[in-house]
Structures are given as structure tokens and as C-alpha cells.
Structure 1
Amino acid sequence: MPSPGVCMNIINARNGKNGYGTISNPVSFLNQDYQQLKQYCLSRRVRFIDETFPPDRNTIGQGLLKPSDLDRVKWLRPTKIVSDPSFIVDGVSRFDFGQGLVGNCWFLASIGALTFQDNILKQVVPPEQKFDADYSGLFHFRFWRFGKWVDVVIDDKLPTVDGRPIFVSSKEPTEFWPALLEKAYAKVCGSYADMNAGTPAEALVDFTGGVHMCINLSDPPPNLWELMFRAGQSSSLMGCGTPNGATSENTVQPNGLVKGHAYTVTGLKQVNNWQLIHVVRLWNPWGHKEWNGDWSDKSSLWQTVSQEDREECLSVGDDGEFWMSLEDFCKFYNDLDICCLCPDFLDGSSSCHWKTSIYDGRWVAGTTAGGQMTHTETFWTNPQYRIRIGKLLGECSQQQGDKNLLVSLMQMPDKRNRRLVQNFNIGFMIFEYKAETGKFPASFFSRNRPVVKTNIFLDAREVMKFVMLEPGEYLIVPSTFNPNETTSFILTILSKAETHVQ
């Protein structure tokens, strides 16, 4: 993990205000206090049943199972599924679990990335939970949700058919942390069905409170390898996805890759077979179905590298994990999601300190939702944030990095059920100014062009941009693409320079 004080301030800043909503003092989701509920159950010798997420059809959700299949579902506690259940068996690994009937490979790919960061994993999955004398059928997990950490309580009744869990399950039948973690996240989303379809970025941010960036692999930056390598070194979590096929089906292609599917980036290696080759290790959350091209498990190219590299990298087994060249990675995947706890990896300035500022805002139709800049009569009504950029902080002043400011804009949902949330197209613009007071009027924007702007307005949960700005006075204007679209947002500003925002 990065050393505290250098990079972890993004987590501290995003942890909440006045200590409330921090990882050490999370908000009780739906006002359910884990300790109080546990003491209640233990004192009365009862098993907890969660009335806010009950073991019934509504919790499974709409459209996931056929009515005939729903009739076969029985909700069983782990103690009724196996005779000796455990929360965790022999540590935690990406190979512990496999996907069930929910199309949530994006969520499982994120769990796979999470298993590489033990400190973060323990924040999300409190490890002290057990099926012991204090067992009460009650478990809890923590997620970062739109500006604060929440503690999510669940009962341990799992949907089964013929005694087997129908959603995520562990390959070790007595281990239940993956199934219970999935149930807790399903509760946050509204139902199991609400987890259907997504991108790794969403869960990666919810697991960490970090800032997400997305790289388009059809037009990757020239330093992609260095970027990925530094991201791995700085404890960032990485996931990626393949392009969708003609249908919504997850079709397995002749090359072994699955269309419209999420994967975890689990490793990077530089090997030498007469020339230096960059290879990427990926994991399919199905736990099987692997790439069969160059540098795959059975590729003859492994015979051209040193025995040391071969023994370190090669593992022939249908476990869902495989290697491929960076070139093929960019060819067959459409995007790379990086959730950074430490933005230093973006330009390699590992000794720099970053200042983090978080602001809550809201676009309201008719008053503060002016749309993007082509709406000349209303753009000025959007929320405005003045930022003064001064000299570089600390050791950054002795270095010349490429960028000194990261701006992230995240929109907040207006509904609990994830499938009902409508993301607006969002983005932001940054203007330089000399002498202005009060709210910037429409005339300012008719005279000035932005020095920085998001390339396109995306209907994504979060958009970000990493830029270099000279010392001076700037104005950040976040907006939706169209005017009169009401929703709340979180603006995160990270800077290597001394900054003042108002």
C-alpha cells in the first residue's frame, strides 16, 4: 500500500465529513445497526431475518428467473446447506468463487481485483465474522456509496435450488464470504436482478472510495504499459471488458474470449524471446473459458522464454486466468478501468503530495441546470467553482510531472433500485479568468473559451480528466449535456499544487 499521507488522502477526503461516513465510522445502511441487531439476536437466541431485504421473490428481482424456476427456490442458511460452514477458508483468493445466474461479471471481476489488496479487502469484508458460538445469522459488509462509507447488514439466507446456491458460490462448498458479499451488494442495488449488467468501474469505486479513470483501448495512450505498471505498483485496482456482440448473450468466441464480458487485470510481466514482450495476465470471473491465442496457457511461445519466466508465469489449468500480449489486449478489449487510490501512477511522481477537495452539488431544473456550453442563455446558471492554483506542494516542487490537477465528477442516483437509475450525460469545463467577482454571467462565457473540457459528455456514473494548469485563477463548471436535468453530484479535485476552492 502507498504510505499514508502521500496518497491515502484521497480516501481520507472521500471518507465523509466530521468523521461520519468514514470507514471507521460508517453510516448504517437503512438505519440498521449491526452491533445492536447482533446483541438483540444473541440475547433472545434468535436468528436474524432482514425485513428490509427479505428472503422472497422481490429480493431476487424481476426478469432474472422464470416463474417456474422461482417456484423451486428455497432460501437456506449456510448451516442448512452444509454441516460445517465457514466464512473464510484458508484465506481469500480470486479462485475462491464462480459466477452464478446473475449477469454480474463486472461485480465479480472487481472482487477478483480486490483480493490482491488485503488492507482494502478487510475494509469491505470484515474478516472477524464466523459461524461460531456468537453466530446469529447476521453478517455485515462495507461499501463506499456516493461520498460516504455505509455498513450493510444482511441475514445469511441464500437462494438455492436443490440445496445449491444459484448465484455466486465458492468452489470450497463450506466457504460463504463470496455469496454473502454478493447478497450485501445486491441489497444496496435493490435486488439481485438489479446487479445485471455493468462495468467493473462501478464496483471498484464502491470497494475503495477511489477515483476512476477509463482508457479507451482502441486509441490507447503511447505510455499504456508504463501507466498500467505504475497503477499496479501503487495498489490501484484494474478491470476491463470485451466489446458486446450482436446480442446480449455472453457468446464464447473461437479465440476463447467472451463477448460483452468483464475481466480482472491480475498481473503484468515483461518477457524476453529475442525481443522484449509486454504480456498482461487476465482472469475470467466464470472461473473457466480462457484465451487460446499467443501467450495463452498452451501457447508454444512460452518455450521461447527463459525457464525462470516460464515457471513464474505459466500455469496450465482451466481456472479462467491466462496471459496475452499487450498488443492483443488492446485489440480484443475495448476499455480498461483503473480505480486509483493514489493518482501518482498517472505521471510517475511517486513522492509528490496531493491535496484533495470534495464538494457536493446539485443541478436543479429551472435554476441551476443550465446544460452544456452551447446553451448560451442558461449555461452560466450551472454551479460554479473558483479554484486558485499556486506553487507545487512539497517534493513536487523539485519535479516536473506532466500533470498537476485531477478533476472527477460523479452523479448521484435518485432511486435505490439500480436498474431504474437514469444516468445523465455529464461533463465539465475549466476556464481561466483574471478579475471577476460574484457569479460569472453569460457574457463571460460568450467572451471566453474553456482551457480544459471533457472530450464528450458521458452517461456514466463518473467522468474525470487529468490536466496541467499553470498557476492562476480558474473556474470549474460541471454540467449535464441538456438543460433542466435535475440530479446531485460530487466534484472531487486533486492537486499537486497549493489550491484554494470556493
Structure 2
Amino acid sequence: MLAPSSAPTPEQGWQTAGATGNLQNLRKFNSQDFKDLRASCLSRGLLFEDATFPAHISSIGPTLLPEEKLRQIQWKRPTELQRNPYLVMDGVSRFDIMQGEIGDCWMLAALGSLTLRKQFLENVLPKDQGFQDDYAGIFHFRFWQYGEWVDVVIDDRLPFLNGRYLSVHPRTSNEFWPSLLEKAYAKLRGSYQNLNGGYLSDALVDFTGGVQVQFPLKDPPPDLEEILKAADKSRCLMGCSTSVQSRRNIELRNGIVQGHAYTITGAVKIPYKNGWKHIIRIWNPWGHGEWKGPWSDE
């Protein structure tokens, strides 16, 4: 269980159905058509370069880093980094994700939740692309915006600073779906800088087209544990976040990080001694760092 002093605020989202936007009625972001652009690049033997989100400081954002560091950023394609890159290897998992230098744990926590619900994930991550067949340096991803699905096209040039990923980086060195999806989301929002801080609930909606509900733990509903258990059973996407007490990214002795977002990966009620105990399991988008209190590995 989480200590009251560091208790996150659960946020959940689920997909709705009805006469709203659907994947057959996609809006093309910046009027860019993925298939047409890829076909054009393949016919000319060129790798796609996205003029609407260029390999330039403007795509990073003017204040994400000091000006000196912004000038040092290099852009590299996965084919320059790995001999045999893949978009997805052995399926998609939250463990593929490791947060980079950008403070977008809110988006990555929602993405971690999305990987648990494959039927939603396929809406965001189309299967008609990769590095093996018809590779032309171009990829696309889908997000829900204002009542419709939007198809966002990107090139695969990724930002590096001093040889390290500025963006999210894959745990497996030659799997690139997290980095490319993050870039598409940055493009949708205007820059990587615009991912540097946000609301987990917004990302849950953007990844599902669903409705989100938040429960502040300072004044929780009396049946919160049962709500979480039912939400998990009905396959809702769930996350939680901690408030900022003094500074962000300070890890407390119990292992929980201040000003940080997590994916809720399970909620159960278990028999314990002469009663029942509600426990939840959470995943850290950093790819490391765990709860160290009761019910932890120790």
C-alpha cells in the first residue's frame, strides 16, 4: 500500500462508442498523407524529411534546454544507430519504455497503461509500417483530438544530446516504437518542450478517445478500493500521480517520486491475516525505481 504522505492521485480512462470520429474517418494532421508520402519517397529512392516538424531547434522548443545545449543537439535515424532496427520486437510492452531527458512521465505513464490494452494500442500504433518492408524514413501514429482521430506523420530523425537520447529511449537498443510515438505526440502538441509537464488524464484521453475520471486521495470516495478493483477487471486504463512537495523527481525513502506519474498495472483484494487487504501495483516510466514499503520485493 502507498504511504498517505506520498499517495498518488488515480486517474482512469476508458473508450467510448457512438457517432463520433472513427478510424475510417481520419483527419490527416497538416494534410499529410502517410501512404502517398511514403510511395513518393520510395519511387525517388529518398528518405522522408518532414518540413512541418524539422530536425531543428524549433521542434525541440526554445526553452527546454539552455541555448548552448540546444545548439549541440544532433538528429539521427534508427538506421544510423543500429544495423537492424525494428519498430516492434516480440510485441509491445511497458518495459520497452525508459524515460529520457524530457519530463513527459505523464504521457509515458498513459502509454504504459495503453500497452496493457492491445485493442486500444492498435488504434494508436498502426501495423502498416516498419524498417523491414517499404522503409522510407517515414512513420505515422494516431491520436484522439477534439472528437476525431488524427493521423500524425513523422520522419524518423531522433534528437540526441552528447550521444544520449534526449527523448524516450528503448530498453532494447534496436526497438524504436516508443521513441517514434513520442515524436509524433510532440509534433501534435507543437514541440518536445510542450511534453515537458502535463496531465496524465489528458494523455489517457488522447490515446483512447475515452472519458477520464480523477479521484484525489486527499478526499477519496469511501469505496475507492472497490472502484479501482472494478476498473481493473473491466480493463480500464489507469494511472496515478504524486504532488510536488518541494521539487520534482525527488525520490522519497519509500521509493515513491514527488511530482511524478505512474501506470497502475493491477488492483486486487487479497486475504491477509484475519481480513482483507487492497493493494495496487504501479510501474515507473523511468524504467527503474520501486516502492520500498510493505508488499515490496523486500
Q: Fold match, TM over 0.5?
A: yes
SS of residue in 2 equivalent to 1:291: coil
Q: Give, in angstroms, the shift of residue 133 of structure 1.
A: 3.7
Aligned to 1:403: none
Which stretches in structure 2 are left out of the alignment for 5+ residues? 1-13
Q: Does 1:14 align with 2:20?
A: yes
Contact 2:265-2:283 within 8 A present in 1 as well: yes
Of residues 52-61 and 162-171 in structure 1, the stretch that sits farther from structure 2 once superposed is 162-171
Q: Which is greater in Rg?
A: 1
Where in structure 2 are the equivalents of 1:109-258 lying within 5 Å?
109-247=109-247, 249-258=248-257
Q: Structure 1: which amino acid aligns with 2:100?
A: G
Name the % identity.
Answer: 48
**Aligned mates of 1:108, 1:245 — CA distance in 2:** 22
Greater than 4 Å deviation, 4+ residue runs: none
**Aligned mates of 2:173, 2:41 — CA distance in 1:** 26
Q: Give, in angstroms, the shift of residue 130 of structure 1.
A: 1.1
Q: Structure 2: which amino acid aligns with 1:292?
A: K
**Aligned mates of 2:131, 2:163 — CA distance in 1:** 19
SS of residue in 1 equivalent to 2:227: helix
**Aligned mates of 1:204, 1:229 — CA distance in 2:** 19
Aligned to 1:57: 57
Q: Give, in angstroms, the shift of residue 256 of structure 1.
A: 1.1
Where in structure 2 are the equivalents of 1:285-324 lying within 5 Å?
285-298=285-298
Change (3 A) 1:81 1:164: farther
Higher helix share: 2
Q: Structure 2: which amino acid aligns with 1:242?
A: T
Contact 1:81-1:163 within 8 A present in 2 as well: no
**Aligned mates of 2:133, 2:37 — CA distance in 1:** 16
SS of residue in 1 equivalent to 2:37: helix
RMSD between superposed Cα atoms in Å:
1.4
**Aligned mates of 1:163, 1:43 — CA distance in 2:** 33
Q: Give, in angstroms, the shift of residue 68 of structure 1.
A: 2.4
Q: Structure 1: which amino acid aligns with 2:172?
A: E
**Aligned mates of 1:252, 1:73 — CA distance in 2:** 29
Aligned to 1:493: none
SS of residue in 2 equivalent to 1:220: coil
Task: Encode CA deviations 1:310-339: one digit per residue, 9 max, x unaligned.
Answer: xxxxxxxxxxxxxxxxxxxxxxxxxxxxxx
SS of residue in 1 equivalent to 2:72: coil
Contact 1:23-1:149 within 8 A present in 2 as well: yes
Which stretches in structure 1 are left out of the alignment for 5+ residues? 1-6, 16-21, 299-502
Q: Give, in angstroms, the shift of residue 25 of structure 1.
A: 2.5
Normalized against structure 1, the TM-score is what? 0.55
SS of residue in 1 equivalent to 2:25: coil
State how many pairs are aligned: 284
Task: Encode CA deviations 1:402-442: one digit per residue, 9 max, x unaligned.
Answer: xxxxxxxxxxxxxxxxxxxxxxxxxxxxxxxxxxxxxxxxx
Q: Structure 2: which amino acid aligns with 1:201?
A: S
Q: Structure 2: which amino acid aligns with 1:30?
A: N
Q: Does 1:271 align with 2:270?
A: yes
**Aligned mates of 1:84, 1:14 — CA distance in 2:** 40
Task: Encode CA deviations 1:50-72: one digit per residue, 9 max, x unaligned.
Answer: 00000000101022122222232
